[in-house]
Amino acid sequence: MAVARVVHTADRTLTGRQLASLLTPPPEGRFGYRELARAVREALLDGRVALRLRLPAERELATVLAVSRTTVTGAYDLLRESGYAHSRRGAGTWTALPDGQAPTPLGAFQDDAGATIDLALAAPQAPEELAEALASAAAELPRYAGSQGYHPYGLPVLRSAIAERYTARGLPTRPEQILVTTGAQQALSLVLTLLGRAGDRVLAENPSYTNALDAMRGRMLRITPVPVTETGWDTGLVDAALRQTAPRLAYLIPDFHNPTGHLMPQEQRRELARSARATGTWLVADETLADIALDVTAPPPFAAAAGGGDGEQIVSVGSLSKSCWGGLRVGWVRAASRVVTELARVRITADLSGSVLDQLVAVALMERLDTIVPRRVEELRRRRDALTTALARHVPEWRWTVPPGGMCLWIDLGRPVASAVSAHALRHGVRVEGGARFGVDPGTHEHRLRIPYTLPEDVYEPAAERLAAALDGAPGRYVDPALPDWVA
C-alpha cells in the first residue's frame, strides 16, 4: 500500500545573502549546479541550514552568487531528486531530508559492568573538597532539623551565596532573584513551563545541548534553529530569525557552547539582547559552563552585557555540575524577583523543595570555588591535551578546533558517517555520541562526533585506538543510498 508523503510548508525564508554566507565555496571559486547542490546539502547536514526552511528564489540566489539562473535551477532540481528539498507550486522550495534518513543515537545514560570507555558524558569527577564539604554540611544540619525542611525557593544561605557570586562576576544580584533547583535541567524545565505554551516558538542554537532540546520537544514547543558554525554565531541570522518568527523564548549557551566550545563575544551579546527586546523574546542563557575557562578569562554573566532594561528579559540558569560534581543535584535560576516567585509556584507542583543536606554541601563547596575551579581548569587542560594528542596519532584525518573552554571537542569526520562510527565504536568498547544527537533536526550533524575530555588522561590513548579500529570497520564502506552518483 502506498504511503502518502506528508508535506510541511516552510514558515521561514532564507535570503540569498544569508544562504550564500552559509555555503562553503568550491575550490575553483565559482559554483556550478552540482557544486551548489553539494554545498547546500553539506550545509543542511552540518546544521548550518535548518530543515523546513524556504530557500531563496532562483533569480535572487543567482544574483547573489553571480551565476546564471539555470545554475540555481539545476541545483534545486538535484536537491529535489535526492530528497534534500521539496517544492510545491506557489509555496517555493524548502529544505528536507531523504525518507528514512534519521539519526540512530545511543543512550548516553547506560550502565554496564564491562570495560566500555564512556565518552558520551561531559561530566567530571567530584573534587577532593567534597568530603570536607560533607563534614561541614553535617555540622550545620542540626540547625535546620527543627524546621519542616521545605524551602521551595532554596535555602536562604545558598540563595545569598549564589547572588554574591553573580555580583562578584559583574552582575549585581539580590537573593530574591535566585531560585535554587535540582540541577540546571530542572531550572530550564521550569523556565520553559512558565514562559512557554504548547505550540509557542522557541529559538535554539543548532547544534545545542541535547537534553535542553528534548525538554523543548517534550513541552511541544516549536523550535526555530539558528546555526552555530566553525566561526560561532552570526548575529545577523539570529536577528532575522527573531524578527521573522518572534519566538516566545530564545535558549542560548553563550559560554563555551555545548557542543562546539565557542565563546560568544560581548558585542554579540549586546546585539542579541537588543534584538530580543525588540521582538519581546525572553532570552534564556545557560551558563552552566561559565567557570570552565581554559584559555581565556571567565566571561561575565550574559545579563551583564545587556543595556538599559534589556536585563529584565534575560533569565540565567546554572549549576555546580561542571565546576564541582554532577552527583550534587544543585542548580539555580537567576531572574527578576517576580519571575522567581512564579517559577517557585510552578516548582512546587512537581518538587516541593530540594534536599537541605545537598544545599548545605553546595554552600560549603561555593565557599571553596576559588580553589576548586582553578584546579578543575588545569585538570581539564591536561585531559584536553591528552585527548587531542591521542586522536592526532590514531585518527589524523579527523579535524577539530581546540575550544577556549568547556569540556568537549566537536570533531569533524569529513563525511556524514557519525551514526555508523558510533555504532561500531560501541562494539569496540567505546561509547561516543554522534553529532545528530545535538541537532535540532533529525539527521543533521552526521559528520560530527562530540568527545568530552573529562576522563583521566590515561584513558584517551586506548579510546583513540578503539575509535580507529571502529573507523576501519564502518565508514570506509558507508554509502548513502539516498544520494545520486554526483554526490560521491
Asked which of 323, 348, 367 is the last residue of a domain, the reply is 367
pLDDT at 303 over 60: yes
- Determine the straight-line distance between the first and last CA of the chain, rounded to whole angstroms: 32
Model pLDDT, residue 432: 94
* pLDDT (average), residues 465-471: 92
In a domain, 24, yes or no: yes
The DSSP bridge partners found for residue 282 are: 249
CATH number at residue 404: 3.90.1150.10
* Averaged confidence pLDDT in the chain: 88
Q: Is the dihedral of CA 136, 138, 139, 141 positive or negative?
A: positive
What is the pLDDT confidence band of residue 99, given thresholds at 50, 70 and 90? low
Non-local (6+) Cβ contacts of 455 within 8 A are 117, 118, 119, 383, 463
Q: 84 near 96, Cβ under 8 Å?
A: yes
In a domain, 31, yes or no: yes
Cβ–Cβ contacts within 10 Å for residue 47, how many?
Answer: 29
Residues 219, 294 within the same domain: yes
In a domain, 482, yes or no: no
Residues 64, 187 within the same domain: no
* pLDDT (average), residues 258-277: 95
What is the pLDDT confidence band of residue 43, given thresholds at 50, 70 and 90? confident
Asked which of 367, 390, 409 is the last residue of a domain, the reply is 367
Residues 76, 141 within the same domain: no
Dist. CA 482–CA 63, nearest whole Å: 30
What angle separates helix 69-81 from helix 33-45, to the nearest 10 degrees?
Answer: 50
pLDDT at 363 over 80: yes
In a domain, 485, yes or no: no
CATH number at residue 66: 1.10.10.10
Residues 280, 359 within the same domain: yes
* pLDDT (average), residues 353-381: 97
Dist. CA 419–CA 96, nearest whole Å: 19
Residues 39, 89 within the same domain: yes
Residues 83, 182 within the same domain: no
Model pLDDT, residue 111: 46
Q: Which domain holds residue 386?
A: 117-127+371-477
Residues 88, 187 within the same domain: no
In a domain, 261, yes or no: yes
* pLDDT (average), residues 100-124: 63
Q: pLDDT for 369-393, tens place per residue?
A: 999 999 999 999 999 999 999 999 9
Residues 167, 89 within the same domain: no
Q: 483: which DSSP letter?
A: S
What is the pLDDT confidence band of residue 88, given thresholds at 50, 70 and 90? confident
Q: Is the dihedral of CA 255, 407, 422, 232 positive or negative?
A: positive
Fill in the amino acid letter for 309: G
Grid coordinates standing for 287?
Answer: 551558563
Residues 210, 249 within the same domain: yes
pLDDT at 32 over 70: yes
What is the pLDDT confidence band of residue 100, given thresholds at 50, 70 and 90? low
In a domain, 45, yes or no: yes
* pLDDT (average), residues 271-275: 94
In a domain, 254, yes or no: yes
The proportion of the chain whose per-residue pLDDT surpasses 90, expressed as a percent, equals 67
* pLDDT (average), residues 152-157: 97
In a domain, 6, yes or no: no
Residues 202, 301 within the same domain: yes
Residues 136, 225 within the same domain: yes
Count of domains forming the chain: 3
The proportion of the chain whose per-residue pLDDT surpasses 70, expressed as a percent, equals 90
Model pLDDT, residue 51: 80
Dist. CA 39–CA 414, nearest whole Å: 14
pLDDT at 106 over 50: no
